[in-house]
């Protein structure tokens, strides 16, 4: 038999609140051991943990998809907005030189990117060709179409459009200004609303996930009630007992986040051709763009964090209720 040694009388982790420096390395080793043991426990019950992971993934994917679609649309709004232009129509009596003068003055404005002058005769020619009413139009005594300016704003904002509109109102030669911004403003407001709904949904999903993961882990704690009681009798602190459950929450969240990324990729790839077809009908090269590597990592990290938080909030309270 081995020789009996003196009891621990110096300050060791067994007798004091924290671990001395020589134990800091071992604490990392212990964490590594607990982390791998928690992972093994999860893999031993793939059915139960798999179900929780799928629930997390679907719950995470829905708001993420909504936010991704609106961000895709918003990203493409820029090109649509650039195409939106302001058209200023002159009075019929305004001669070309006067109209060109207005055009030059507008061109000097910071808010204006480009100004195209369409003379009355050019407008008539274009209309004749496009309408097929060339002979009828030629029979008219005078050109009924006014000359016009097609103005492209430097920035695609309603404010810029309003500034340009106000400037045009100061020219007495201009009879009528047509703005193409109203529908864009409506679309922008709609996208902003959908974006806010996505954010709200994300918050609700986060709360739901905290409940789901917390409940799954609470069941795990309950099934280990006797073990927890014994560990407490030997001086296991609540934080020590909670450790494997916190890792479980972290793993469940991370796995759910990873699966959500994969599901997003699958959904976007399946929607891609249909979206491209619809876009082509509107002469657009609009394409759905998925999450970047960084955004994927962010989603997984957020899900893992959520898993940890839900485990933390549920487990410590539950463990505290189990007496040694």
Nearer to another protein, 20 or 46 (CB): 20
Span near another protein by CB under 8 A; candidates 9-17, 132-140, 204-212, 292-300: 9-17
Q: Closest Cα partner for 37 from 224, 296, 277?
A: 224
CA–CA gap between residue 260 and residue 58 (Å, rounded): 6
Is 90 within 8 Å of 148 (Cβ atoms)? yes
Sole binder of another protein in the list 21, 30, 91, 220 (CB under 8 A): 30
CB of 201 to another protein, least distance (A): 40
Cα 166 to its chain centre, rounded Å, is 36
Pick from 46, 78, 95, 235 the residue near another protein by CB under 8 A. Answer: 235
Decide: is 227 part of the binding site for another protein (CB under 8 A): yes
Position of tokens 């494997």? Answer: 244
Among 146, 214, 236, 256, binds another protein (CB under 8 A): 236
If the CB atoms of residues 28 and 190 are measured against another protein, the closer one turns out to be 28
In whole angstroms, the minimum distance from the beta carbon of 200 to another protein comes to 40
- Binding another protein (rule: CB under 8 A), the pick from 4, 110, 135, 293 is 4
Q: How far is CA 117 from CA 54, 62, 100, 160, 161, in A?
A: 60, 49, 7, 20, 18
The secondary structure element, H or E, covering residue 90 is strand 86-90
Is 155 a binding residue for another protein by CB under 8 A? The answer is: no
In the complex with another protein, the residue whose CB is nearer, 12 or 178, is: 12
Shortest spacing between CB 314 and another protein, in angstroms: 20
Residue 48 as a binder of another protein (CB under 8 A): the answer is: no
Gap between the terminal Cα atoms of the chain: 33
Residue 204 interacting with another protein (CB under 8 A): no
The one segment of 10-18, 170-178, 252-260, 305-313 that binds another protein by CB under 8 A:
10-18
Structure tokens at 128: 């004749």
Exposed e or buried b for every residue in 175-200, given b needs 16+ CB within 10 A? eebebebeebeeebeebeebbeebee
SS3 track for 97-131 = HHHHHHHHHHHCCCCEEEEEEECHHHHHHHHHHHH
**Total of residues contacting another protein (CB under 8 A):** 34
Report if residue 132 touches another protein, rule: CB under 8 A: no
Q: Which residues bind another protein (CB under 8 A)?
A: 1-2, 4-9, 12-17, 19, 23, 25-27, 29-30, 33, 227, 230-237, 240, 323-324
């Amino acid at each position: 038999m081995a020789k009996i040694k003196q009891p621990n009388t110096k300050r060791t982790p067994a007798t004091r609140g924290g671990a001395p420096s020589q134990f800091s390395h071992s604490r990392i080793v212990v964490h590594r051991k607990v982390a791998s043991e928690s992972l093994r426990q999860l893999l031993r019950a793939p059915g139960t943990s798999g179900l929780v992971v799928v629930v997390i993934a679907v719950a995470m994917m829905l708001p993420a998809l909504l936010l991704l679609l609106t961000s895709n649309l918003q990203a493409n709004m820029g090109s649509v907005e650039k195409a939106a232009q302001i058209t200023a129509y002159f009075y019929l009596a305004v001669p070309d030189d006067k109209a060109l003068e207005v055009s030059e003055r507008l061109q000097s404005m910071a808010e204006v990117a480009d100004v195209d002058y369409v003379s009355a005769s050019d407008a008539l020619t274009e209309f004749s060709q496009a309408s097929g009413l060339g002979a009828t139009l030629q029979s008219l005594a005078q050109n009924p179409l006014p000359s016009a300016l097609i103005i492209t704003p430097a920035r695609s904002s309603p404010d810029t459009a309003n500034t340009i509109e106000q400037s045009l109102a100061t020219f007495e030669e201009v009879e009528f200004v047509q703005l193409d911004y109203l529908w864009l403003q409506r679309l922008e407001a709609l996208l902003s609303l959908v974006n806010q709904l996505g954010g709200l949904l994300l918050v609700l999903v986060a709360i739901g996930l905290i409940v789901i993961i917390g409940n799954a882990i609470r069941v795990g704690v309950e099934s280990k009630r006797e073990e927890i009681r014994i560990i407490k009798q030997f001086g296991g602190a609540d934080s020590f007992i909670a450790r494997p459950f916190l890792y479980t929450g972290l793993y469940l969240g991370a796995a759910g986040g990873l699966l959500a990324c994969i599901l997003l990729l699958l959904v976007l790839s399946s929607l891609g051709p249909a979206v491209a077809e619809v876009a082509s009908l509107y002469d657009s090269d609009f394409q759905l763009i998925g999450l970047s590597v960084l955004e994927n990592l962010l989603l997984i990290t957020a899900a893992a964090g959520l898993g940890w938080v839900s485990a933390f909030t549920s487990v410590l309270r539950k463990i505290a209720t189990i007496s040694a």
